[in-house]
Amino acid sequence: MDRLPKCEANYVPLTPLTFLKRAAMVYAKRTSVIYGRTRFTWRLTYDRCLRLASSLRALNIVKNDVVSVLAPNVPAMYEMHFAVPMAGAILNTINTRLDAKTVANILKHSEAKVFFVDYEYVPLAREALRLIAESSMPLVVVIDDVDSPTKVRLGELEYEQLVSSGDPRFVPNEVQDEWDPIALNYTSGTTSAPKGVVYSHRGAYLSTLSLILGWEMGSAPVYLWSLPMFHCNGWTFTWGVAARGGTNVCIRNTTAQEMYASIALHKVTHMCCAPIVFNILLEAKPNERVAIATPVEVLTGGAPPPAALLEKIERLGFHVVHAYGLTEATGPALVCEWQAQWNQLPRQEQAKIKARQGISILTLADVDVKDLETMQSVPRDGITMGEIVLRGSSIMKGYFKDEQATSKAFHKGWFVTGDVGVIHPDGYLEIKDRSKDVIISGGENISSVELEAVLYRHPHVLEAAVVAMPHPRWGESPCAFVALKKDSSGITEADILAHFRKNVAGYMMPKKVYFMEALPKTATGKIQKFELRVLAKTLVVTETNELPKKKSSTQVNRGSQPTHYRDQHHEQILAMSRL
């Protein structure tokens, strides 16, 4: 073995930054970014990223400093996925749906040195910055609209000025260790305090390769950004489109009209989205629709889309592949890879298979469903449930500044997802439940525990539980079950919802509050959420937003007919000021 050759020159750390340099050389004149009237080539995108990285260094940004950004899918957001790590820094993309308090907490916890803010989110950023102590205030850079400058300011710095003043001959930071951090993404509130998930250059590189190979993304794809880049760095397709020399079609608002128009005008071949986007496309008005001449490949994640919904969307010209992932897995970890023999099945059976979460991405070392106590794999019978566990380089490095949570997330060499599933005889995995009762609404994760904590802060609430209920638009939505204290006869659903509005972000709002004299419990006093989930399935939100007329014997009439709160954050998904 000692005679085997050793050559340090052959070791080059893996990093997705190499995809951009290659694209600039190989596809120099090919269109890289389209945004309204703005078009860039890959040579120009590389030049702009070098300039921005140079300007960040001039702002005293050094290795492992955090640079945060609050923006929709605009060219600047795309460029920062390369420019920030080129400067040696760590990119932190912030969910634009969050409230000011949560944004402030992320800025403080991440210790961000620079904060890029799209002009549309200046009011939100201003409120967040107001909550931050002067000593931890980041430098603020406003991203103006490249097509129609608005001259909105929040400080002295502006994005395009940084780009134009940067050095195009800048030599990017050389990645010495592929395990160095490249991105910091905060979980979507599945606990009371979102945790910072750290991605490595190696993990981002491998995840990117896995997805473009597993999805069979060919050369020069035209990719529509209907998925937010703040979601796990756009499921790594921020780097993946560069790897294939494709074109990024950026849109500020994910509306039906803008998506259909972009698909037709730019001949879009690929897009990613949560199932909620299917409803937006299906419910488009006749004047908003455009016939799709060539099938558009769609990778979807989140709550499994109903078979009926998949059938409808595919009739419009979209070919859907379902994936499963989470922030800690650098986005999708499983993909429902299609088998040729399934083409012979009836359309309805095909849709059921497509709703499965599938098999591991290529560069994930292993995935399994286990009994966590024995660490034995469950039988591949499609019935026996266990915990979904993952292993591989694309799993997060850990939680930022939280060793205890990091240690808890890994068990005997496996990352524990917190999701419960089964494995079918063909080896394909399917989620059956969520051990942590996470509710996925419109692609966003919502913690039932966090909502229950809010309920218990209401002075008239005696018992509370929150579970997922079906929703015709969002897939799932929170349903709150409440038992009130004595002498609370005047409390209505509107009162409970008003309490929520004061304490949670809009997208987390329950869509129904169901009053009961007492919540069902086990012999040990634990609330039986299983029974509540069964009940919640009978409370499907209708277009008129009315509760079913038939009432349970345990339901208490509290005076007023429960109302439905259609929060502004979900309206923004329809208008889509950002996913």
Query: What whole-number percentage of the chain has pLDDT above 70?
Result: 88
Query: Is position 411 within any domain?
Result: no
Type of residue numbered 138: P
pLDDT at 357: 83
252 neighbors 72 (Cβ within 8 angstroms): yes
pLDDT at 193: 67
Cα angle value 574/118/75 (rounded, 5°): 85
2-6, 459-463, 498-502 — most confident range: 498-502
pLDDT at 544: 33
pLDDT for 135 beyond 80 = no
Q: What are 67's two structure tokens?
A: 């640079």
pLDDT at 557: 30
For residue 200, what are the β-bridge partners?
Answer: 181
How much is the average pLDDT of 247-253?
A: 96
User: How does DSSP assign 157-208, residue by residue?
Assistant: EEHHHHHHHS-TT--PPP-S-TTSEEEEEE--SSSSSPPEEEEEHHHHHHHH
Query: Is position 466 within any domain?
Result: yes
Query: What whole-number percentage of the chain has pLDDT above 90?
Result: 58
358-385 pLDDT, tens digit per residue, is 899 998 999 999 999 899 999 999 888 8
Q: How confident is the model at residue 436 (pLDDT cuts 50, 70, 90)?
A: low
Q: How many CA atoms are closer than 13 Å to the CA of 4, on its beta-carbon side?
A: 2
Type of residue numbered 43: R
Q: What are 346's two structure tokens?
A: 């009836």
Between 301-305, 362-366, 425-429, the lowest mean confidence (pLDDT) is in: 301-305
Instruction: State how many domains the chain has.
Output: 1
Cα(556)–Cα(484) distance, integer angstroms: 10
Q: What are 528's two structure tokens?
A: 């039986």
Cα(325)–Cα(13) distance, integer angstroms: 25
Q: How confident is the model at residue 268 (pLDDT cuts 50, 70, 90)?
A: very high
Q: How confident is the model at residue 120 (pLDDT cuts 50, 70, 90)?
A: very high
More confident: 449 or 63: 63
pLDDT at 545: 37
Q: What is the mean pLDDT of the chain?
A: 86
Q: What is the DSSP letter of 344?
A: G
Cα(33)–Cα(485) distance, integer angstroms: 58
Query: Is position 153 within any domain?
Result: no
pLDDT at 450: 77
274-284 pLDDT, tens digit per residue, is 877 888 898 89
Between 41-55, 180-194, 349-363, 390-404, the lowest mean confidence (pLDDT) is in: 180-194
Query: Is position 448 within any domain?
Result: yes
334-367 pLDDT, tens digit per residue, is 988 888 999 899 887 887 787 788 899 998 999 9
More confident: 570 or 293: 293
Strands (E), 372-471: 376-377, 386-391, 398-399, 410-411, 414-423, 429-434, 438-441, 444-447, 461-471
Query: Is position 142 within any domain?
Result: no
Q: How confident is the model at residue 568 (pLDDT cuts 50, 70, 90)?
A: very low
Between 70-79, 143-152, 483-492, the lowest mean confidence (pLDDT) is in: 143-152
Q: What are 56's two structure tokens?
A: 């960040």
For residue 399, what are the β-bridge partners?
Answer: 197
CATH number at residue 448: 3.30.300.30
How much is the average pLDDT of 231-245?
A: 97
Measure CA of the first residue to CA of the last residue in the chain; give whole Å. Answer: 52
Using DSSP, state whether 237 is helix, strand or coil.
helix
pLDDT at 452: 84
pLDDT for 10 beyond 50 = yes
Q: In terms of C-beta density within 10 A (0-12 exposed, 13-18 middle, 19 or more buried), how is residue 553 classed?
A: exposed
Query: Is position 462 within any domain?
Result: yes
Note if the pTM is more than 0.85.
Answer: no
Type of residue numbered 384: T
Query: Is position 254 within any domain?
Result: no
Query: Is position 519 within any domain?
Result: yes
* Strand 296-300, strand 318-326: pairing: parallel
Sheet holding 475-484, edge to edge: 461-471, 475-484, 512-515
Query: For 308-321, b where at least 16 C-beta lie within 10 A, e where not — what string?
Result: ebbbbbbebebebb
Cα(247)–Cα(229) distance, integer angstroms: 15
Residue 533, domain extent: 437-537
pLDDT at 553: 30
pLDDT at 514: 93
pLDDT for 574 beyond 80 = no
